[in-house]
A and B are shown apart, each in its own frame.
Chain A
């Protein structure tokens, strides 16, 4: 069953065509990789899925709903969580608060409930807190709860972004270069984390990543972008041996 369908997505910035009629289909509980050289349009695709950019053409369908014109916050509430390539944490908030903010889209308490401390909103606060602590333990930041997010190391910040996205109880998680800046031990830990998230929480994950080792190891399906065009789509073994992919991308690395 497809959870996400991108149909003929096109995106133009001024004269630049960053995405050129791209079709992608992601199945439920898949770990789906998107690879391609710098500037291929990978991040742009994430921004379109999450409602940050309005595509010039095409459709984004998530669980049979058209997302195209939805606001970013509304898309998030549909159950799509994401991380950012250039880390976007709430720097002057504590690690714990970063994750608690992540639950905003799946909680209810309003203004008056909050200032009056009504029972409903106190109960909700408690669940939000428990959830946040669980998630911080999951990504291994349990002992840094009260640090400012900006004081974390790079790899920790990336994991905090994952925890924050998970607080939304997403059914689809988008990770934009989660391994960037990590050393190989950290990368191993990350791979393990991604596996666990998917298996224990029955999530679908789309991963943009430059580390081929990680991508080939972990992804079940991979799409390759090049200059805004999709040039290949298939399981790792197929993509790895595709002529055009080797030429335009893998070849360059080898």
Chain B
């Protein structure tokens, strides 16, 4: 029983992790809580659905399509709503602008798709395997594999490539990176693109897994992923992964063993406890601020 819960938690947690990565990468570079990120995830789920239903594309291709679409969307949002504020406004103005975008996108989606919940057609032949007491669905395997591949890919991108190096330089010190000749605007744009693509992948997979896509699905998922990013230590990529998975697992365990009516409170309760004990998050480092 506990193993089953752990597996379910891991599946949920890996989708939180995919969304949390976008929060953490953007935060790491421009210290903005991108509240529109949850909406990007929601739109990713819708685009995937649209592609599968209306063009009959294979789900894998639809996933890539949703990622590509959200890449562009994420870059657009940054260009229109955040870039004009950069350097001349307080961080709070950025947050309010992000909230504006979030309200805009979710109502836009309500207008396009109405508020009712939609479902992915039975595109994948979901099989369930029995491993001992454990029931493993092929969908869970796919989600875990895709999420792992994406995270490994991200890690390689950040650690091994030139762009990745530039991203790390920007997150260390934006001004210094600029002085070193890095095209900071391009790197920020790129970061939004990557983060949004990961969120879209999360959206499509959650849409299939829970068999539900609706315009407000981004709000709670976004908040929880943000909680996951902070739990792991915001700005840290491994932190976002660990935070997401921890949160997913604990949430499922909490529902299973405590109470399902408090489901949405569990994630936040854990977060608050962790922060009180360890203010910098699980993976965040404690630094003495330079004065």
Direct chain A–B contact by Cβ atoms under 8 Å: yes
Report how far A53 CA is from B287 CA in the complex, Å.
Answer: 11
In the complex, the chain B residue whose C-beta lies closest to that of A50 is: B291
Q: Are A13 and B288 in contact (CB under 8 A)?
A: yes
Report how far A96 CA is from B291 CA in the complex, Å.
Answer: 24
Q: Are B291 and A84 in contact (CB under 8 A)?
A: yes
Which of B240-291 touch A at CB < 8 Å? 288, 291
Chain A residues with CB below 8 A from B291, complex form? 43, 47, 52-53, 84
Size class of the contact patch on chain B:
under 10
In the complex, the chain A residue whose C-beta lies closest to that of B289 is: A52
Report how far A52 CA is from B288 CA in the complex, Å.
Answer: 9
Chain A residues with CB below 8 A from B288, complex form? 13, 53
Report how far A43 CA is from B288 CA in the complex, Å.
Answer: 14
Q: How far apart are B2's CB and chain A's nearest CB, in angstroms?
A: 40
In the complex, the chain B residue whose C-beta lies closest to that of A85 is: B291
Report how far A168 CA is from B291 CA in the complex, Å.
Answer: 20
Report how far A47 CA is from B289 CA in the complex, Å.
Answer: 11
Q: Provide a sorted-by-A list of 7 A–B residue pairs whose CB atoms are within 8 angstroms.
A: A13-B288, A43-B291, A47-B291, A52-B291, A53-B288, A53-B291, A84-B291
Report how far A97 CA is from B173 CA in the complex, Å.
Answer: 33
Report how far A190 CA is from B291 CA in the complex, Å.
Answer: 24
In the complex, the chain B residue whose C-beta lies closest to that of A88 is: B291
Chain B residues with CB below 8 A from A43, complex form? 291
Interface string of A30-59 (1 = CB under 8 A from B): 000000000000010001000011000000
Report how far A52 CA is from B290 CA in the complex, Å.
Answer: 10
Report how far A47 CA is from B291 CA in the complex, Å.
Answer: 8
Chain B residues with CB below 8 A from A52, complex form? 291
Q: How far apart are B150's CB and chain A's nearest CB, in angstroms?
A: 33
Chain B residues with CB below 8 A from A84, complex form? 291
Report how far A221 CA is from B159 CA in the complex, Å.
Answer: 52
In the complex, the chain B residue whose C-beta lies closest to that of A46 is: B291
In the complex, the chain B residue whose C-beta lies closest to that of A13 is: B288
Q: How far apart are B286's CB and chain A's nearest CB, in angstroms?
A: 11
The list of the 7 closest CB pairs from A to B, nearest first, reads: A52-B291, A47-B291, A53-B288, A13-B288, A84-B291, A43-B291, A53-B291
Report how far A3 CA is from B288 CA in the complex, Å.
Answer: 28
Which of A5-32 touch B at CB < 8 Å? 13
Q: How far apart are A9's CB and chain B's nearest CB, in angstroms?
A: 15
Q: How far apart are A232's CB and chain B's nearest CB, in angstroms?
A: 26
Chain B residues with CB below 8 A from A53, complex form? 288, 291
